[in-house]
Amino acid sequence: MKKFLMMFLSLILFCGCTLHKKPQESSAIDILTLFQSQSNAQNKLWVGTMQLAFNEVKENIVKGDIYFIDEKPTFDLIGLNQNLFNKDMLNEKSYYTSWGKTTIKQRDLIKKDIKKKFNTNSDILDLLDWSEEEGKYYAYAMLKKDFEFFIPFDKLDKLSFNKSKEKYSFFGINEKSKEELRKAVRVLFYNNENDFAVQLPTKTNDFVYLYRTDSDKDFEKIYKKMIKQSNDYTGNRDFAEKDTLKVPYLKIKQMKKYPELCNKTIAGTDFYFSEVLETIDLVLDEKGGKIKSEAAILVKTNSLIIADENKPRHFDFDKPYVMFLVDEGKNDPYFALRVKDLKGLQ
């Protein structure tokens, strides 16, 4: 009977990080672990929340680098251990982190904290197992941003994206737009109709960067190239009278689980991750945008671990493009998005 019980518990661990029911993952977009991660997905995004939670585990629970026994570390795991993104890259008003032993009381305290700081609720806290056990810990992070453009852009007619048959909603500036709208756009560079970038300032001092490019390199390389081209640009940075701007509306809500990090003994410890997940909730429209992202890691100790110039310029983002969000006074983005197909993103 004891042998059967051991086999049953092992099977539970093998089948996944958790038995709790969670929202379904969408195939519309791939959530990347690192700003430097590679992916063959048409649409992909990165947000720094997972790294914030991982940092809490590394610094406060494991207290050292996190690698798994008898397993060659992946590119993403190496990057996570290098703290390539951290709190210093954000305004403290933008994030919340917590770690400790799992208890219902602690879960409720986090709910109270994020409600007070961000006036929002969690999408994942009730999905986690907060039962008290010896050697069971959690790390949690939320990144929350609401940004508003200085003046709402115009709603434009629906049009195709990247030669799609389906029509999508766009906002921006056309020949009928008021002159004051043109002051709400800063041109970073315009080399030709397929190579350009703009910056959209906001009232909250976040900067929205939009870069028209077909590049499929990692976000770090794309961002550095965009900044270099902007620094080298000697053309007109004003949004001229005949220039146009077209930006697609976005609505993304997705969760990613990390089974590849679960149920593996962390080298030099008895710890393993039992649950690892990250969410993204993004809205972008003519008024501005909202982004909420959460990440949580449950850590356990258990012996039943299985290894396992004059011419009009058209800044029309109606073909593949990349968007970055950068906090005021910071050099590095806290969010990146590549869009090649709008299906499922509005």
- For the chain, give every domain's residue range: 2-147+252-301, 148-250+310-338
Q: How far is CA 136 from the centre of its chain?
A: 27
Which position has the higher pLDDT, 346 or 286?
286
* Residue 279: band (very low, low, confident or very high) from pLDDT cuts 50, 70, 90: very high
Q: Give the number of other Cβ atoms within 10 Å of residue 215's Cβ.
A: 14
Q: Coil, strand, or helix at residue 278?
A: strand
Residue 41 has pLDDT above 60, yes or no: yes
* Range 292-308 average pLDDT: 78
Residue 329 confidence (pLDDT): 86
Q: Out of 21-35, 40-54, 91-105, 226-240, pick the least confident.
A: 21-35
Cite the beta strand spans of the chain per DSSP E: 30-32, 44-47, 95-101, 137-148, 154-160, 167-173, 186-192, 195-201, 207-212, 244-248, 250-257, 271-284, 288-301, 314-316, 321-326, 333-339
Which position has the higher pLDDT, 26 or 226?
226
Structure tokens that stand for 70 in this block: 């008898």
* Range 121-144 average pLDDT: 96
- Shortest CA distance to 289 belongs to which of 227, 207, 167? 207
Q: Coil, strand, or helix at residue 303?
A: coil
Please report where in the chains the tokens 């430097």 appear, as a residue: 36
Residue 25 confidence (pLDDT): 57
pTM (global) more than 0.95 = no
Residue 26 confidence (pLDDT): 53
pLDDT digits (tens, 9 = 90+) for 245-261: 999 999 999 999 999 99
Exposure of 318 in the CB half-sphere (CA atoms within 13 A)? 23
Distance (Å, whole) CA 44 – CA 21: 25
Name residue 316's amino acid: D
Distance (Å, whole) CA 77 – CA 59: 15
Residue 294 confidence (pLDDT): 98
Which position has the higher pLDDT, 46 or 14?
46
Distance (Å, whole) CA 74 – CA 122: 30
Residues 294-329: b if buried by 16+ CB within 10 A, e if exposed? bbbbbbbbbeebeeeeeeebbbbbbbbbbbbbbbee
CB contact at 8 A, 277 and 255: yes
Q: Coil, strand, or helix at residue 24?
A: coil
Distance (Å, whole) CA 111 – CA 116: 9
Share of the chain above pLDDT 90, in %: 82
Residue 3 has pLDDT above 50, yes or no: no
Distance (Å, whole) CA 270 – CA 56: 18
Dihedral, CA atoms, 36, 39, 44, 45, nearest 10 degrees? -20
pLDDT digits (tens, 9 = 90+) for 151-202: 999 999 999 999 999 999 999 999 999 999 999 999 999 999 999 999 999 9
CATH of domain 148-250+310-338: 2.30.39.10
